[in-house]
């Protein structure tokens, strides 16, 4: 397939706000594509490079290159060129990368150049594209979207499903089955403002402690145990204690979902930073494990001894989990069987307060009658935390002063818009540790596209979790609101910019604050 066609569809999808039209454009593209090209086409449309970071900065892009007269580049040519760029290393790498990028640009038409430029600078990010692509694939092949979505969850990614579906039709989807040893996309949560609000939304539900550690999906097949992160990376080798603990369980072939946490000698949870540092240690794993042992706490079960449990309601999955996993390894929970039962509601509030008092970050409410489904569809899980946080994208950073000279400090924070652009919500230089400051300086310099000596503008890729005390109206910022007392909690390297919070979410919270009331008072 010609790259020009992808550039054209990308432009068309961005230009229309009608979801149905976007899906139609994608369906037409997929119907005409060679199945083997689609694993490249989907990330390009989403604004991602299959190669990941390829080390192309502003320098390689700033000089204009005369465009080609007509489109000749195939999608695969672009992929080969970018693979070559990603492979450059050693002395003179920057110059060589620039040469290769210019060569590619020279083979591209003006429209293709614009699209390539957007891809390389991260400016064509289309957050919602993966969900739209699933709908487009369904339309192109006459398959129910729910079946495609489920196959994507089971495959852990859209690309392999797209290729098989387009090459062999809907029957090919039967191949994507829950298999021990192959990670599936995890189920995620939305937010609710309070336990009461969550109960009202969900009806009968479980209220579980929300543990602030690292999500793990554990696959056991006899002696073989593998553990995967939220982004489906295999981290088994870094968690020897998990392998040992799961080996002791009675189920022989199981898939469990849970969280790895660390408890101090006082029984209170250690900070997320400590846990991340421990899991990040690759060299001396045994030493790191001895220094900070982790425990697995499970909250779900997806498969047990030959049986796929994904479609069972949560209440039954809980019962199955309890049969195989002893209580100390299961998340604590309270149940609200009847949302009209005032006593159960009070008990749920008390459970939330108690969970916080034990040092955990909040609770997750889960509807008892719902199956396990990837992502945030249907909002069957709702998290409730006492502190407001948003996952925002770093758009730029300012050079620090005084003690922070030479460090990139004041961050410009953006929320995602539907069209893939970002609305800046404010700035912060608070909450950063020295380690974070050093790390972000390095990382942001890699992402830099422009530096005027005061502010470094970066590719919008880095997601940072920001705590704040409330939102206030502001005419200075494009969404019309800004954050009060914003401070950095942590970087979320496990999230892509497409998963950051949206302007819509932020404005929804602003409304929910109730102007002029209580602690979340909106200032004019
Ligand atoms: N009882 C629980 N049930 C589900 N998830 C839990 C539970 N306890 C802790 N978690 C963790 O909470 C995460 C979801 O909440 P949180 O907002 O902190 O993380 P996130 O990755 O920013 O959220 P999300 O995944 O919803 O965007 C899960 O991915 C999981 O790692």
- Which of 185, 179, 211, 183 has the alpha carbon at shortest distance from 298? 211
Q: What is the percent of the chain where pLDDT is above 70? A: 97
Q: Is 22 a catalytic residue?
A: no
Task: Give the residue numbers spanning the domain of 79.
Answer: 3-173
- Reported as a single tens digit per residue, the pLDDT across 461-490 is 999 999 998 888 889 999 999 998 899 999
Q: How many CB atoms lie within 10 A of CB 419?
A: 15
Q: Of 384, 402, 423, which marks where a domain is finished? A: 384
Question: pLDDT band for position 56 (50/70/90)?
Answer: confident
Question: pLDDT band for position 519 (50/70/90)?
Answer: very low
- Reported as a single tens digit per residue, the pLDDT across 397-447 is 999 998 899 999 999 999 999 888 899 999 999 999 899 999 999 999 999
Q: Are residues 403 and 334 in the same domain?
A: no
Which 3 state secondary structure label does DSSP give 25?
helix
Q: Are residues 96 and 196 in the same domain?
A: no
Q: Tell me if 182 is assigned to some domain.
A: no
Q: What is the CATH number of the domain that holds 37?
A: 1.10.3260.10
Q: Are 67 and 108 in contact (CB under 8 A)?
A: yes
Question: Ligand 1: which of 183, 216, 259, 502 to mutate, most ligand atoms within 8 Å of CB?
Answer: 259
Is 484 annotated to bind ligand? no
Q: Are residues 379 and 437 in the same domain?
A: no
Q: Are residues 344 and 427 in the same domain?
A: no
Q: Tell me if 180 is assigned to some domain.
A: no
Q: How many CB atoms lie within 10 A of CB 13?
A: 23
Q: Give me the pLDDT at residue 513, please.
A: 61
Q: Tell me if 179 is assigned to some domain.
A: no
- Reported as a single tens digit per residue, the pLDDT across 19-47 is 999 999 999 999 999 999 999 999 999 98
What mean pLDDT, rounded, does the chain reach? 91
Q: Are residues 109 and 166 in the same domain?
A: yes
Q: Are residues 407 and 380 in the same domain?
A: no
- Reported as a single tens digit per residue, the pLDDT across 283-301 is 889 999 999 999 999 999 9
Q: Give me the pLDDT at residue 418, please.
A: 81
Between the CA of residue 179 and those of 254, 260, 296, 313, 399, what are the distances in Å? 10, 22, 22, 20, 49
Q: Tell me if 15 is assigned to some domain.
A: yes
Q: Are residues 334 and 394 in the same domain?
A: no
Pocket of ligand 1 (CB under 6 A): 188-189, 208, 210-211, 215, 230, 259, 299, 331, 364, 383, 391
Burial tier of 201 (Cβ tally within 10 Å: 0-12, 13-18, 19+): middle
Q: Give me the pLDDT at residue 520, please.
A: 34
Ligand 1: which atom is nearest the Cα of residue 186?
Answer: 29
- Sign for the CA dihedral angle at 62, 65, 68, 69 comes to positive
Q: Of 352, 369, 384, which marks where a domain is finished? A: 384
Q: Are residues 392 and 380 in the same domain?
A: no
Q: Tell me if 181 is assigned to some domain.
A: no
Packing angle of the helix pair 129-141, 38-46 (nearest 10 deg): 140
Q: 22, 62, 201, 210: which is the annotated catalytic residue?
A: 210
Could you say which DSSP state residue 263 is in? B
Domain count, the chain: 3
Q: Are residues 379 and 402 in the same domain?
A: no
Question: Ligand 1: which of 189, 363, 370, 388 to mutate, most ligand atoms within 8 Å of CB?
Answer: 189
Q: What is the CATH number of the domain that holds 392?
A: 2.40.50.140
The complex scores an ipTM of 0.94
Q: Are residues 211 and 148 in the same domain?
A: no
Q: Are 300 and 254 in contact (CB under 8 A)?
A: no
Q: Are residues 156 and 215 in the same domain?
A: no
Q: Tell me if 475 is assigned to some domain.
A: yes
Burial tier of 437 (Cβ tally within 10 Å: 0-12, 13-18, 19+): middle
Q: Tell me if 422 is assigned to some domain.
A: yes
Residue nearest atom 30 of ligand 1, based on CA coordinates? 215
Q: Tell me if 451 is assigned to some domain.
A: yes
- Reported as a single tens digit per residue, the pLDDT across 114-172 is 999 988 887 777 767 888 999 999 999 999 999 999 999 999 989 999 999 999 999 99
Q: What is the CATH number of the domain that holds 252?
A: 3.30.470.30
Q: Give me the pLDDT at residue 523, please.
A: 31
Q: Of 173, 206, 227, which marks where a domain is finished? A: 173
Q: Are residues 345 and 316 in the same domain?
A: yes
Between the CA of residue 468 and those of 45, 83, 362, 496, what are the distances in Å? 33, 41, 16, 21
- Which of 385, 318, 388 has the alpha carbon at shortest distance from 352? 385
Locate 442 and state its tokens: 């390095």
Average pLDDT over residues 218-237: 95
Average pLDDT over residues 194-223: 96
């Amino acid at each position: 397939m010609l790259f020009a066609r992808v550039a054209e569809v990308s432009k068309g999808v961005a230009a229309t706000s009608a979801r149905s039209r976007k899906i139609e454009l994608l369906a037409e593209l997929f119907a005409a594509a060679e199945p083997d090209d689609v694993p490249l086409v989907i990330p390009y449309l989403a604004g991602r490079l299959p190669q990941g970071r390829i080390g192309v900065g502003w320098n390689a892009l700033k000089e204009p290159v005369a465009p080609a007269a007509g489109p000749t580049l195939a999608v695969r040519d672009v992929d080969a060129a970018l693979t070559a760029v990603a492979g450059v290393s050693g002395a003179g790498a920057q110059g060589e990368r620039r040469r290769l990028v210019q060569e590619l640009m020279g083979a591209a038409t003006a429209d293709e150049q614009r699209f390539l430029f957007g891809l390389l600078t991260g400016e064509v990010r289309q957050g919602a594209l993966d969900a739209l692509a699933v709908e487009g694939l369904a339309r192109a092949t006459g398959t129910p979207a729910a079946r495609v979505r489920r196959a994507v969850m089971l495959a852990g990614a859209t690309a392999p499903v797209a290729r098989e579906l387009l090459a062999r039709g809907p029957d090919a989807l039967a191949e994507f089955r829950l298999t021990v040893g192959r990670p599936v996309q995890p189920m995620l949560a939305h937010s609710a403002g309070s336990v009461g609000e969550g109960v009202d939304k969900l009806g009968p539900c479980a209220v579980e402690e929300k543990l602030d550690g690292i999500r793990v999906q554990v696959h056991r097949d006899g002696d073989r145990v593998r553990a995967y992160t939220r982004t489906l990376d295999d981290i088994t080798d870094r968690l020897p204690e998990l392998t040992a603990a799961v080996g002791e369980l009675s189920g022989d072939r199981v898939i469990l979902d849970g969280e790895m946490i660390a408890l101090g000698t006082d029984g209170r949870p250690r900070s997320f930073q400590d846990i991340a540092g421990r899991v990040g240690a690759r060299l001396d794993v045994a030493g790191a494990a001895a220094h900070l042992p982790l425990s697995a706490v499970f909250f779900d079960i997806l498969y047990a001894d030959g049986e796929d449990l994904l479609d069972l309601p949560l209440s039954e999955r809980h019962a199955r989990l309890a049969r195989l996993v002893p209580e100390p390894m299961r998340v604590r929970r309270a149940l609200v069987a009847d949302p009209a039962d005032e006593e159960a509601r009070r008990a749920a509030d008390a459970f939330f307060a108690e969970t916080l008092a034990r040092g955990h970050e909040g609770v997750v409410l889960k509807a008892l009658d719902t199956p396990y489904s990837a992502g945030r569809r249907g909002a069957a899980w709702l998290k409730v935390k006492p502190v407001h946080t948003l996952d925002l994208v770093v758009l730029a950073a300012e050079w620090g002063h005084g003690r922070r000279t030479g460090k990139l400090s004041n961050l410009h924070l953006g929320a995602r818009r539907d069209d893939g652009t970002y609305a800046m919500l404010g700035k912060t230089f608070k909450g950063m540790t020295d380690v974070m400051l050093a790390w972000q300086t390095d990382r942001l310099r890699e992402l830099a596209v422009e530096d005027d000596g005061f502010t470094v503008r970066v590719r919008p890729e880095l997601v940072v979790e920001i705590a704040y005390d409330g939102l206030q109206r502001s005419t200075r910022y494009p969404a019309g609101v800004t954050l009060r007392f914003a401070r950095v909690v942590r970087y979320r390297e496990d999230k892509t910019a497409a998963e950051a919070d949206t302007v819509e979410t932020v404005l929804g919270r602003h409304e929910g604050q109730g102007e002029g009331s209580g602690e979340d008072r909106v200032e004019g």
